[in-house]
Amino acid sequence: METFGERLHKAVAERGPLCVGIDPHASLLERWGLTDDITGLERFARTVVEALADRVAVLKPQSAFFERFGSRGVAVLESTIRQSREAGALVLLDVKRGDIGSTMAAYADAYLNPVSTLCSDAITVSPYLGVGSLQPAFDLAAAHGGGVFVLALTSNPEGPAVQHAVTVGGKTVAQTVIDEISQVNAGAQPLGSLGLVVGATIGETGHDLSAVNGPLLAPGLGAQGGTPDDLRAVFGESLHNVLPSYSREVLAAGPEIADLRAATDRVLAGVRAALG
């Protein structure tokens, strides 16, 4: 069984360092000329998968934009995950779950157990009940070759109040998260399966990412203001592990498949140049 880190390393080598979000905002559905209902959602998701799942390394559906349509929206999400993986893309399901005990275990079972219809290659999680509370997700990911991306340094203005707070040990909360993930990834080849989420717009962080040995998801590029050149300031010597993530910058080019592919090629060229 290949680990998620191995599969991601291979996918990036073959397809390039790019993650594209599948975020069916109501405004994007309108921009595409689609109705803000289950029909529009299904058409949007199917078009993105057809355009990109056979060419980008990672697709990242945002679960909330599917969940807002109830059970029928979740059914579209299940189909989107399945079709994306069948076309060769890795699926990072953006769910940002975080809880304790049996509840966290249930979340892990929903998204990382191969018997689940929502099973994805990796998920995002929140560590603010303590990194240790995420252990059920780490364990199930390890058992089935999955990955987990933990929020560390986010680009929202409210983030630093928590993430830059200093613990009794003298480290920031974010550095504590970084260090704990680094310990789990230590020695993994070619890449650990636990990653971090670090916003592309936060500038020089004052935090040490050098020992993470895992993928560093960088959202905030494109419509949110981040540029490929910003990645150097944020990640420094850790650039080789960065997975840049674009959503609206690419999705706004739709609904034509050729236009979505052209937008993807454009942003990929930009991040390749920035990452060297």
User: How does DSSP assign the chain, residue by residue?
Assistant: ---HHHHHHHHHHHH-S-EEEE---HHHHHHTT--SSHHHHHHHHHHHHHHHTTT-SEEEEBTHHHHTTHHHHHHHHHHHHHHHHHTT-EEEEEEEE---HHHHHHHHHHHH-TTSTT--SEEEE--TT-GGGGHHHHHHHHHHT-EEEEEEE--STTHHHHHTPBPTTSSBHHHHHHHHHHHHHTT-SS--SEEEEE-TTS-------TT--S-EEE--BGGGSB-TTHHHHHHGGGGGGEEEEESHHHHTT-SSHHHHHHHHHHHHHHHHHHH-
Active site residue 96: yes
Below-70 pLDDT ranges, the chain: none
| 58 neighbors 8 (Cβ within 8 angstroms) | yes
pLDDT score recorded for residue 263:
98
pLDDT score recorded for residue 211:
94
pLDDT single digits (tens) 108-126? 999 999 999 999 999 999 9
pLDDT score recorded for residue 113:
98
Pick from 125, 271, 121, 123: nearest CA to 200: 271
Superfamily, domain 4-275: Aldolase class I (3.20.20.70)
pLDDT score recorded for residue 225:
82
pLDDT score recorded for residue 129:
96
Pick from 111, 128, 127, 130: nearest CA to 119: 111
